[in-house]
Amino acid sequence: MPVLMLILLIAVFAYFLWRHKTSDLTRNCRWRQNRAQGIWRCAFCGAKTDGLQMPSVCMNRQHRPGGR
């Protein structure tokens, strides 16, 4: 049983590391899809982008980590 818990703990930690590396969103990024207009809009900063999938990058330079 302790071995199973250790494996589960390692898997959760690895998942969090993977999510951190694949996303450049800030905590405030809240993307909402407007299907009628075909855009995604951030409810926090008002940034807009086209596409079918939710953006994985913060579009507002002021709120991005490091100001990139």
pLDDT at 31 over 90: no
pLDDT at 21 over 80: no
The contacts of residue 42 (CB under 8 Å, 6+ apart) are 29, 30, 31, 32, 48, 58, 59, 60
* Alpha helices by DSSP H, the chain: 2-22
The number of distinct structural domains making up the chain is: 1
65 residue type, one letter: P
Cα(52)–Cα(41) distance, integer angstroms: 12
C-alpha atoms less than 13 angstroms from C-alpha of 45 in its C-beta half-sphere: 15
pTM for the model: 0.51
pLDDT digits (tens, 9 = 90+) for 39-61: 898 888 888 888 888 887 777 66
What pLDDT score was predicted for residue 62?
59
What pLDDT score was predicted for residue 37?
86
